[in-house]
Structure 1
């Protein structure tokens, strides 16, 4: 450990969207903060609801000690996969059959790829196009040419029958029936959180394996490395960050984030346009 280390080593877990990056881009201050903290002996991990197949390489270029993806379903540390959980095959098929029976537009998320029914890309363009069209392309410090629709559709593989697909999570963007109603009918093994695209309302959301969330992934890293929970820091902004902020020794919410995230946080920081991750690192003494 470098001699200039002045605080005890910490393990920091960073949500991506709306926390570490925005509009597909991480500010230079965030990249520098990650690299500096690691150089000083701290560990820094990506902890995202995105499956690995949706985490762009330019996000990972800062250099991280590992990643938790699929909101806790998959954990990778130093190139070693410590956890890769998927829906039970019978339940996975039932969920697909249920969504198809009600004409829902959805994506099955797996580490290796996203899976959708043939033609769902056109449906998503119709549903999401107007929402994304209203988003600013430039946000203060940040600017990028990343197309949010292509961010979703780029890793997609299409099939007429998805019942045998192996996956860990589902993003549903358009259900003619309130999505909670469908999830309730599937039983206690299945959970639902609201979509981060609030304009979609109750017809959208993320369907996940009950009991799987970001804090579960953090625990895998904690046990593998022998970390002290008090030294765990988590930063996030969305509904799927609630458990990790509650679990961490220090939970930091992004200003303007989901109300439930703000309610469980120990402190807040700015969003990516305000270099919030770098500010939080500085306040915790992680940058020397």
Structure 2
């Protein structure tokens, strides 16, 4: 773990869902924490599994120094695209064919848009609406009410033929068979992690490019800015945050997060309802 000396600037990388925001709602304390850390000369980045097309303006409005999306597949900073990797056309077509053959509801994730089969929106509404029914609400600075299902579906473009789509990651829902069984068909070019929506169990998950994870995106930023690894702070809660927390000088997990994330964390902080990001940054001496 790195020292908490605040004489030098730190670079903070924040997961969105379950960390910075609760189902699309960022509490005011988190917004002010981002702004306060940047006023002190620290750098703050979004580092999310969401594709860029699924990161709404009300999240980014707090002001960030850059955005890592697609769980490390894409890196944007100061209007420049530093990284944009996607599945090869051959692997992309194989994934689409395999998911279609097993009647999986899925969304293909690209920086410019999400892609879904015609009619998948209604299927996803049936599956996801009960999951979000008991969500908490925040009287936040940036948004007072966000429908998380529509937040997911808003950027989706629908088509009857997705074999030609270019994408970096796939979110799968409502699979009739455990998704792990399909990975042998898809092959070593792809990996599978559990969905952040744990209530969906083995019927849901995220398929990603093998070797791509959030720490890969962080390293791109680190090399561009000449950062010391010891000065990197990362906060997250889900399975796709494991490598990020392991790589950071200070890795902070959210209470109640994925057990593997908690196992690699240096510290633990509350979730968005408890203003955990703000508490963590204050504890590190990064705020006013």
TM-score, L = length of structure 1? 0.95
Aligned mates of 2:167, 2:140 — CA distance in 1 = 36
Query: Does 2:50 match 1:37?
Result: no
Flag structure 2 segments of 5+ consecutive residues without an equivalent.
none
* Residue 224 (structure 1) aligns with: 224
* Residue 127 (structure 2) aligns with: 127
Aligned mates of 1:140, 1:34 — CA distance in 2 = 18
* Residue 199 (structure 1) aligns with: 199
CA RMSD of aligned residues (A): 1.6
* Residue 236 (structure 1) aligns with: 236
Alpha carbons of 1:8 and 1:111: their partners in 2 closer, same or farther (altered >3 Å)? Answer: same
> Contact 2:25–2:145 (CA<8 Å) still a contact in 1?
no
* Residue 136 (structure 1) aligns with: 135
Q: What does 1:248-287 correspond to in 2, within 5 Å?
A: 248-287=248-287
Aligned mates of 1:165, 1:141 — CA distance in 2 = 36
* Residue 107 (structure 1) aligns with: 107
> Contact 1:7–1:286 (CA<8 Å) still a contact in 2?
no
Report the secondary structure of 1:244's partner residue.
helix
Report the secondary structure of 2:99's partner residue.
helix
Note the C-alpha offset of 1:159.
0.3
Report the secondary structure of 1:111's partner residue.
coil
Aligned mates of 1:237, 1:23 — CA distance in 2 = 13
Note the C-alpha offset of 1:139.
6.0
> Contact 1:49–1:72 (CA<8 Å) still a contact in 2?
yes
> Contact 2:27–2:139 (CA<8 Å) still a contact in 1?
no
Report the secondary structure of 2:286's partner residue.
coil
Report the secondary structure of 2:287's partner residue.
coil
Aligned mates of 2:132, 2:61 — CA distance in 1 = 26
> Contact 2:137–2:145 (CA<8 Å) still a contact in 1?
no
Aligned mates of 2:82, 2:150 — CA distance in 1 = 30
Note the C-alpha offset of 1:7.
2.4
> Contact 2:14–2:234 (CA<8 Å) still a contact in 1?
yes
Alpha carbons of 1:187 and 1:126: their partners in 2 closer, same or farther (altered >3 Å)? Answer: same
* Residue 190 (structure 1) aligns with: 190
* Residue 8 (structure 2) aligns with: 8
1:6-54 deviation digits (Å, cap 9, x = unpaired)? 5211000000111111131111111111111111111100000000111
TM-score, L = length of structure 2? 0.95
> Contact 1:113–1:155 (CA<8 Å) still a contact in 2?
yes
Note the C-alpha offset of 1:186.
1.2
1:171-190 deviation digits (Å, cap 9, x = unpaired)? 00011121011012211111
Aligned mates of 2:77, 2:138 — CA distance in 1 = 32
